[in-house]
Each structure stands twice: as structure tokens, then as C-alpha cells.
Structure 1
Amino acid sequence: MLEVSVRHRYGRDGFALDAGFTVAEAGVTALFGPSGCGKSTLLSIVAGLLRPDAGRVVLGGTVLVDTARRVFLPPEARRCGVVFQDARLFPHLSVASNLRYGLTRAPRDATGPGMAEVVALLGLEALLARRPAGLSGGERQRVALGRALLARPCLLLMDEPLAALDAGRRAEVLPFLARLRDAARLPILYVTHALEEVDALADRLVLLRDGRVLAEGAVEDLATRTDLPLAARRDAGVLLPCTVAATDPGGLTRLDFPGGTLLATARPEPPGTRLRLRIRARDVALAVAEPRGLSTRNILPAVIQDLAPGSAPQEVFVRLAVGPSTLLARLTEDSVARLALRPGIPVWALLKAVTFDHLGGVR
């Protein structure tokens, strides 16, 4: 486990950081927030690239920073693997040599994946003889990930590793990051301001604004909170754990979730695959009588739990219980008044199959 509680200020009147959070023993904890909120500063403090004004950083019982006791381990003594926005590979070395450099940084008594395992995990077999100049941005980041993993760290630190890539390259790298998350069984601290990366990778979320932690917890739990800045986004909604059940001859995939089944456009994943699906509040419509004769295939019986002010004028968030699962609907105040919506009444939630283009990733 990683425990962080630090304060830092840039100059007398500059940006001030005052934040504390924890990272679990395995899985991905995302530091999320707008540019300038302190994400990369926190990662630099954990990595040993910045000495904070005050505070403590403890990794697995080892004190990395304790300003009160004047403890500050140098970066090379921290057992942290770092992946930056730019891959920072050695341009004169082949991919294989860049990877082997990671092995030279591993302590002699450290255990972890070997070269062949990392190459297979990240799909690097065809790249080993090439040099970084001949790689795409996504390929370079995969090599950087492999090099960091071969150093056999106790903690992986990723500072917006996909920010410099276009949408196609991000989509290429994300599945490898998910495989790394599941195979490495390491704590991973992941800095990003891209919600789709949080959806795809993160187990826990630390939400930052102006150098302060607004909230931390499971990603699914924070996604349902309408009092957080996440609710102000137009893609605000819940993350729903699903399992691929089957794909029918008509080209629709059945996704089972606690409380019901959803139909989505055909998915490539085989039956039994666990997914996390983002259901945007703006895509959920409500009816107070069971609809008939609609093209919409997903009509879910639900009960209204509560209503909360929306993030824009004349908007309301309606929280719905669908069995044990929660959905959010973003409606106008006019719709709420016309339908006389209130907590406790039964409704039907309507979702088109074609709206599920925001899969949060394979779990």
C-alpha cells in the first residue's frame, strides 16, 4: 500500500498542494482532474523527483519521505517504475536492448516477470530488433511500459502515458495497459485527465481540484455522486459491471448486469467476458407507464431513489434503482414536473442499444 500526505507550494504566491490519499496493494488508482490541479506534482513527489515542503510518503511500510524526520530516499532507492508522457527510450538502442536496460535496474533479489513474459504480455515480439525512431507512438509507449516492468518495481507510476497519442493510438495501447494491470499485480498510480482512461483502467479514483483531494474511492461509487465535478461533464453517468452473455443472429449482444439485461450492438468479446459499461445520464429517458411500440430495445423497470439539481440550469439528476444497480438520468425540470417524478415511484428507464459506445474496458 502507498500512503501519501504532503504539502507543497511553488513560490510565495504560487500553486499550493495539500493532499493525502492511499493506493491499494494492487490495481490502478487514478489521479484525475483538470490540468494544473496537482496530479503530476504528486506523482513527482512519490517518484522522488520533487522534495515536498512537508509530509510523508510510505510504500509498503518503507518510508520514502518524512520531512519531520528529514527522510528523503533518492529516486533510485524507491523501487518505482515510471512511465512518462514521452517514452524516453534510448534512441541508439534496439527495443530488445531498451528492455534489457530495465532488467539491469532490478535488484538482484527482486522477483518479477522475465523478458519473454513481458514481451508476450505487451505484444513486442515483432519489434525487438527495431530502434525507437522506427516505432509508432503507441509502440514506443508499450516498450516504455515493458522496460519499467522489467525493473521489477514495487510501484508503477504513469504520468499521462497516452496524452501525446491520437485516438487511434490510445485505443491500441489501452488493452495492453489493462493486461498489464491484471498480470503485474502491482499498485499502479496513474495520472490522467481523460475520463475514458479512468473508465478503462482504474479501480480507485482520487479526484483533485486546485491542489486538494475532493474525494477518493471506488470508481463506480464516485461516478454516481452528483455533488462532484464529474457530474458537470456531458458524459456524466454510471459505470455498470456487465458480463457478455451471447450475441444473437440479429447482431445484438446481451449484457447481463446485477438487476437485468441490456442489449447492445454486437461486441467482439466472447461470452463470459466481464465489462464495465458507462451509461451516460443524458442517454437515459424515463416513462411513467410501460412503453410499447418503440424501436428502443432496452426498457428497464426501475424505482426512483432521489432527485438532485443538475449541473446546468433547469436540469435535474434522477437516481434510479434497477434491482441492486444504480442508473442516473439527466432530465429537464419541465419533464420532472410534467411526469410528477418523485422518490419511491416506479418508472421505466429507456436506453437505445446504439448508445453503448463508451465501454469502460474489459475487467
Structure 2
Amino acid sequence: MSQTIASDSCIHAQFSLTRQAKGREDFVLSVAAKLPSQGVTAIFGQSGSGKTTLLRCIAGLETAPQGYLSVQGDVWQDDRRTLPTYQRPIGYVFQESSLFEHLTAQANIDFALKRSEQRPNAAEYQQIIDLMGIEHVLQRYPAQLSGGERQRVAIARALLIKPRLLLMDEPLASLDSARKQEILPYLAKLRSSLDIPILYVSHSVDEIAQLADHVLVLEQGKVVAQGDISDIFARTDLAQLSGFDMGVVWHGHLQERNEAWHLARIKAPGGSLWVRDGGDAIGAAIRTRILARDVSIALSAGEDSSILNRLPVTISQITPDKDPAMLLLRLISGRDCILARLTKRSVEQLHLYEGLQAWAQIKSVAIMR
């Protein structure tokens, strides 16, 4: 592997391995990826696509003899040497919190810190405790904690060893819906508060839409797509992201609010959107998700509609949907993209075609917090 690759600031991961399976086809992982060394990179795919195997290779828990891994210029694995897991400055959060049941939350954290080469100072320690909101549970035992609290302690423990890379393997998979909603805001804070790259394995589109900056899509052990979340979610050719809940992610800023309507206006490159006012400060960065099923098409900018958000668009692509009665339309609005999921009958009756200028009517916009 060339020195040019090893000296830049990205994460380079190249692994090839074969795992034999009795009674079924062998699983083959063959991945070569260049990942950003900041923000959250989601490793996404269906069950069996190789997400966890890739993460374990990066952690050194899985052996890929021909592998290569460099993190921000430091080579952790090549054809000459492989750093063992305990020498890799990583934090690893599993599906289960894996706390010691006989130790308090505080003692669980302290146990990990005693074995860490880098100890946080008092200010760094308190920052993580506050970030995860666990000050009030530190003296409790794991059995006294909710599932969300246990995972927040586990994340704090992983962060307090001051890793250069945080690996998270479906950390919400074992939680029910209520606990997931409890912990998601804390995970979102990690992205905005800490300068550490996070690799986040998940098969949940909702989690990725809320948390990720960059997405790596795996299928049968191979990379089928990689890029900024806005670009990946705007694609209509990825079966992994298709379905009833497919949609795009827009990044904007809160520009104004109307207290009488309890609404706020989000300004994005593709246009302005009115959303429910969540109390964010003027100028705050806001991430929104627009589902294809919530977008309809009009041929004129009529004002006689209850739909608040109407944007001028150009139809750039019309493609088949999994449902034979439906079509997917890719719409360009400014520098952003919107997806619409319409019946074939509607497309035919409105005489919609690629290149046509029309109006997108957006029935609902979800703020991703």
C-alpha cells in the first residue's frame, strides 16, 4: 500500500476474507473503502450483508490476512504487521451494553479507565458524563437502569478511554421503540459535540437519517454505494433504501418563526420549508427528512391548498418502484433533490415526463433531532 494513502487524514479500510458456512454458500467480504475521519459514517445494509464483519475487521476482532487499515495516517494493518485489538485506540459499543452487573455505573466506567493508556482530565470526564446525561445514575447498578440508561453508560465508558475512533454496532437494536427515542438525541449530540470519527452499523433507515453524515451501503459483502447522506438517500437505484419509507435528507438553518402559527421556516439550498416550531434558535442547523410518499406534484403554483410547502422543481428522472402500480420521480429543487412516489395513473393523467418543470407539494416534513 502506498505511502500517499497512509499519510492522508481519512480512514482507509481494505479487507478480503471468506467465512465457510455449513449447508449454505460461503460468505465473502470484499471491501475497499475510503471513509471520512470526522462525523458519523453509517455502515448500512440488510442482515447478512457484512456490516458487523467489517466493523470487527476494523477493530482487529476479525482476522483478514490480506487486509489494510490506516486511520488518519497511522497504519494499523498492512502486509507486514497487524496491531492487536488492545493496541488500537478504539471505543467499541455493542448491541448489548455489556456492563458488569456487580459494579455500579461509576465503577464500570472506572474499571475501563484503569486499563486505558490515556486518562481524561476532570473537565473531559465531566463533559462526557453531562453529554450522556448519566450523572444521576452513576451510583446505581445495571439492574436498576433502563435499557437506554445502560447503553448511555456503555457509550460514556467507550468515550472516556479517549479513543481515536468510536465503533458502534447496532447500539439500539436491543431497545424498544420508547428507549430508542430516549437515546437518539444523545447520539445526535455526539456528532455535534465531539471531534471523533464514528462508524455506526445499522439496518435502520430512520436511525441513519437522523445520525449519519456519510453512508457506506453493503450488499453480500461488497460496497454498492458510498457518499454523503444527502446524495445516497436521493438515489432511486438502491434497493436497500427503497420502499414505503424512502425519502431524502435536507440540511438547512432556521431562518424565522411565526409564533401565532407555531411554525418555523427552514432555509435550505433547495428552498424554504415551514415545519412545526421545536424551539430551536434562529440560525440553528436543522436536518429534515422528506419522505417520497408525502410529496405530490402540481402543474401550477395554486394557492388553493392546505399544503404549506410548495417548491418549483424539475423532474429529472422517472423510474419504476418495487410496487408495479407506482413510479419514483426524482425532482431537482435548487441544489437539492426531492423524491416523489406517485401512481402510474397520476403520472399518465398529468402527462409528467423527464425535464418537465412542475411544483412539488410537500405534505409533511420531519425534523431529525
TM-score range, shorter chain: over 0.9
Provide, for residues 88-146 of structure 1, a one-character-per-residue CA deviation record: whole Å limited to 9, x for no partner: 11222221122222322332488897221211111111111111111111001111111
| C-alpha distance in 2 between matches for 1:132 and 1:260 | 47
Deviation at 1:64, TM superposition (A): 2.2
Match status 1:226 vs 2:236: yes
CA distance in structure 1 between the partners assigned to 2:120 and 2:235 by the alignment: 41
The corresponding residue for 1:9 is: 18
Structure 1 residue aligned with 2:143, among 133, 139, 150?
133
1:34 has 2:42 as partner: no
The percentage of aligned residue pairs carrying the same residue is 39
| One-letter amino acid of the structure 2 residue matched with residue 6 of structure 1 | F
Kept after mapping to 2: 8 A contact 1:106/1:153: no
CA drift at 1:57:
1.7
- TM-score normalized with structure 1 length: 0.92
- Mapping for residues 1-363 of structure 1, pairs under 5 Å: 1-11=10-20, 13-66=25-78, 68-69=79-80, 71-108=81-118, 114-244=124-254, 245-352=256-363, 355-356=364-365, 358-361=366-369
Mapped contact 2:313–2:360 kept (Cα < 8 A): yes
What letter matches 1:348 in structure 2?
W
SS at match of 1:216: strand
Deviation at 1:274, TM superposition (A): 1.6
Q: In structure 2, do the counterparts of structure 1 residues 40 and 296 end up closer, same or farther at CA, with 3 Å as the change threshold?
A: same
1:285 aligned counterpart, secondary structure: strand
More off after superposition, 168-177 vs 283-292: 283-292
CA deviation digits over 1:152-209, x for unaligned, max 9?
A: 1111010000111111111111111111222221111110011111111111100011
CA distance in 2, matches of 1:248, 1:288: 32
Q: 1:167 to 1:297 in 2, by over 3 A?
A: same
CA distance in 2: counterparts of 1:338 and 1:35, whole angstroms: 40
Structure 2 letter corresponding to 1:359: I
Distance in 2 between residues matched to 1:118 and 1:225, nearest whole Å = 36
Taking structure 1 as reference, are residues 182 and 259 closer, same or farther at Cα in structure 2, changes over 3 Å only? closer
Q: Is the 8 A contact 1:238 1:326 kept in 2?
A: yes
Whole-angstrom distance in 2 between the partners of 1:115 and 1:125: 11
Helix, strand or coil at the partner of 1:144: helix
- The offset of 1:28, in angstroms, is 0.8
Does the 8 Å contact 1:37/1:208 carry over to 2?
A: yes
Residues 46-87 of structure 1 deviation map (CA, whole Å, 9 limit, x = unaligned): 111111142212223333222x33x22111101111000111
Unmatched segments (≥5 aa) in structure 1: none
> Distance between the aligned counterparts of 2:260 and 2:276, measured in 1?
12
Query: What is the CA distance between 1:272 and its match in structure 2?
Result: 2.4
RMSD of equivalent CA atoms: 2.0
Aligned length: 356
1:295-334 CA distance string (max 9 Å, x none): 2222222222232233331422222222222111111222
Deviation at 1:231, TM superposition (A): 4.5
Any stretches of 5+ residues in structure 2 without a counterpart?
1-9
Q: Distance in 2 between matches of 1:259 and 1:5?
A: 36
By how many angstroms is 1:252 displaced? 2.5
Runs of 4+ with deviation above 4 angstroms: 108-113
TM-score calculated relative to the size of structure 2: 0.91
Q: Secondary structure at the match of 1:227?
A: coil
How far apart in 1 are the matches of 2:27 and 2:322? 27
